[in-house]
Amino acid sequence: MSETISSSQQPISITEFTRAITELHQDVLESIKKQLVTSLTKLIQTNNELQDEITSIRRQLSVNDTNELELDEDLKLYAETIGENRVVIEEQKSRISAVLNELVTRGLLSDANRIKEEGTIFNELSVKDATKSVDIKKDGDVSDDENTVTKKSNDDDNEANDGGIYL
């Protein structure tokens, strides 16, 4: 039987995740950590691609010989997607930390090595993230060092799912 993920399904909370991983074998924990790092890498790559598209759209809008309404809608969608992916990125980072903490609790990893491994993972991800200079504000503004774009905020559309949005 094939299962499909519904958009109405919500990911488990970090508390539930932390509780659930206590029952898993070390190999499974390592696999989960690897999957989370892969997912984070893909989310960051997607955000970088979306940021490139935002830059391209802003150039097209400055030329002003294109369909501004369509480009503006694309700009808003891409910026919103980056914001949603950032939420998922932070949630997945929390899950990596929970896995590493579980390994420390079991005595399979020292606290010093946990800190080192977590730092290495998060630093490598940070280096890959070209969207760090882009600010997605709660009021719906998206800005970077060059431009500011205002986007309409809709509370129903601001919910992120656990998987993020990939290209």
- The per-residue pLDDT for range 33-76, each reduced to its tens digit, is 999 999 999 999 999 999 999 998 888 877 766 677 778 888 99
Q: Residue 53 is inside which H or E element, if any?
A: helix 26-63
| pLDDT of 153 over the 60 cut | no
| pLDDT of 133 over the 70 cut | no
Contacts of 158 (CB under 8 A, 6+ apart): 80, 83, 84
Amino acid type, 130: A
Between helix 26-63 and helix 111-128 the angle, nearest 10°, is 20
Q: Is 164 left (phi over 0), alpha (psi -120 to 50) or beta?
A: left
Q: What percent of the chain has pLDDT over 90?
A: 58
pLDDT at 150: 38
| pLDDT of 81 over the 80 cut | yes
pLDDT at 62: 78
Asked if 74 contacts 57 with a C-beta cutoff of 8 angstroms, the reply is yes
Mean pLDDT of 128-151: 57
pLDDT at 130: 86
